[in-house]
């Protein structure tokens, strides 16, 4: 299975255009939160409508999976906690989103909402515990906007901006992979990185860059390979080997990535 992973698009419409131009080459598209941009002059409700149209266009090409980020919160629940109701509503439109779990091939996906208080947090913990019971030998991938605390994937050059609870949950449940974003600078600063390993769990954060091309990670689970592409260069790690730093630069694209053959049609179970 081949995954294209991005995050923190922040209403960068050229980035969505790029996704629409390449999505058909993958088995799954993951957007790990922060579709919207709170600093934009465009009203966030208009932003969500436009992004929703892009997501509808993308899902015609490839299964789309997305979680909410802190910029996506548009309402409050009954307890007064901020939630991204428009992201959760995507589930009814054929897009796997906050609170969803599904199986694709031999992989269980858990999609985690951004939590603003104890109620949503408790619901998320319940979701993780329930999914742990569904694992049954499958590969387990979480999508959570914030990376774990005290990780190179959450380092902004001066301090860690990760989620301490996520790190605790990783240490308790040991998912195979966590896909995140949130800390834009991590892959580009000293002591930061786009990839980390906590125990047996791989953690990825592609980072955020300006321009039409988003920084992105490509994961091929069959070939046990993860590649990172950005304006700063490209790197690769092997998922069947220990993580070693410094991570070597990618000197040539693998043949499976340059093939013109599109990925096969797969439908989530």
Alpha helices in the chain (DSSP H): 13-22, 44-59, 85-88, 118-134, 164-173, 255-258
267 domain residue, yes or no: no
27 domain residue, yes or no: yes
Arithmetic mean of pLDDT, 92-117: 95
Give the number of other Cβ atoms within 10 Å of residue 138's Cβ: 15
> What are the backbone angles phi and psi of residue 211, rounded to the nearest 5°?
110, 180
Position 100 confidence tier, pLDDT thresholds 50, 70, 90:
very high
The answer on pLDDT for 262 being more than 60 is no
The DSSP secondary-structure symbol of 189 reads S
Across all residues in the chain, what is the average pLDDT?
94
Alpha helices in 136-225 (DSSP H): 164-173
User: Considering its fold, how many domains does the chain have in total?
Assistant: 1
CATH of the domain at 116: 3.60.21.10
Q: What is the DSSP string of 231-253?
A: TTEEEEEETTS---SSPPBP-S-
Q: For residue 104, what are the CA distances in angstroms to 28, 37, 55, 88, 139?
A: 9, 31, 19, 20, 10
- The set of long-range contacts for 18-24, using a CB threshold of 8 Å and a minimum separation of 24, is 18/212, 18/213, 18/214, 19/54, 19/58, 19/214, 20/54, 20/57, 20/58, 20/61, 23/58, 23/61, 23/62, 24/61, 24/62, 24/262, 24/263
Instruction: Encode pLDDT of 41-74 as tens digits.
Output: 999 999 999 999 999 999 999 999 999 999 999 9
Instruction: Encode pLDDT of 237-252 as tens digits.
Output: 999 999 999 999 998 8
Give the pLDDT score at 259.
Answer: 58
139 domain residue, yes or no: yes
263 domain residue, yes or no: no
Q: What is the DSSP string of 85-120?
A: HHHHGGGGGT-B-TT-EEEETTEEEEEPPP--SHHH
Q: Which structural domain range is residue 178 located in? A: 2-258
Q: What is the pTM of this model?
A: 0.94
More confident residue, 266 or 4: 4
Q: For residue 171, what are the CA distances in angstroms to 132, 202, 211?
A: 13, 12, 36
Q: Which residues face 219 on adjacent strands?
A: 3, 226
Give the pLDDT score at 257.
Answer: 81
269 domain residue, yes or no: no
Give the pLDDT score at 268.
Answer: 36
Instruction: Compute the Cα dihedral for 24, 233, 187, 250 and give only its sign.
Output: positive
135 domain residue, yes or no: yes
265 domain residue, yes or no: no
């Amino acid at each position: 299975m081949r995954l294209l992973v991005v995050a923190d698009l922040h209403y960068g419409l050229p980035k969505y255009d790029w996704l629409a131009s390449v999505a058909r080459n993958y088995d799954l598209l993951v957007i790990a939160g922060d579709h919207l941009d709170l600093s934009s002059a465009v009203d966030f409700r208009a932003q969500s409508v436009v992004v929703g149209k892009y997501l509808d266009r993308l899902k015609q090409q490839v299964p789309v999976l997305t979680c909410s980020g802190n910029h996506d919160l548009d309402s409050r629940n009954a307890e007064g906690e901020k939630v991204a109701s428009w992201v959760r509503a995507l589930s009814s439109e054929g897009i796997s989103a906050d609170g969803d779990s599904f199986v694709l091939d031999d992989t269980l996906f858990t999609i985690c909402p951004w939590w603003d208080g104890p109620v949503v947090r408790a619901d998320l913990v319940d979701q993780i515990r329930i999914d742990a019971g569904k694992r049954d030998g499958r590969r387990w991938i979480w999508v959570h906007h914030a990376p774990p605390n005290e990780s190179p994937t959450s380092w902004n050059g001066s301090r860690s901006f990760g989620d301490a609870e996520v790190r605790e949950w990783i240490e308790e449940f040991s998912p195979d992979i966590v896909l995140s974003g949130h800390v834009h600078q991590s892959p580009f600063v000293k002591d930061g990185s786009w990839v980390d390993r906590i125990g047996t769990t791989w953690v990825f954060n592609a980072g955020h860059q300006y321009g039409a091309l988003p920084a992105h990670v490509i994961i091929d689970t069959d070939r046990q390979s993860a590649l990172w592409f950005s304006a700063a260069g490209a790197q690769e790690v092997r998922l069947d080997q220990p993580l070693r730093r410094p991570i070597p630069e990618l000197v040539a694209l693998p043949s499976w990535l340059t093939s013109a053959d599109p990925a096969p049609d797969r439908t989530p179970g």
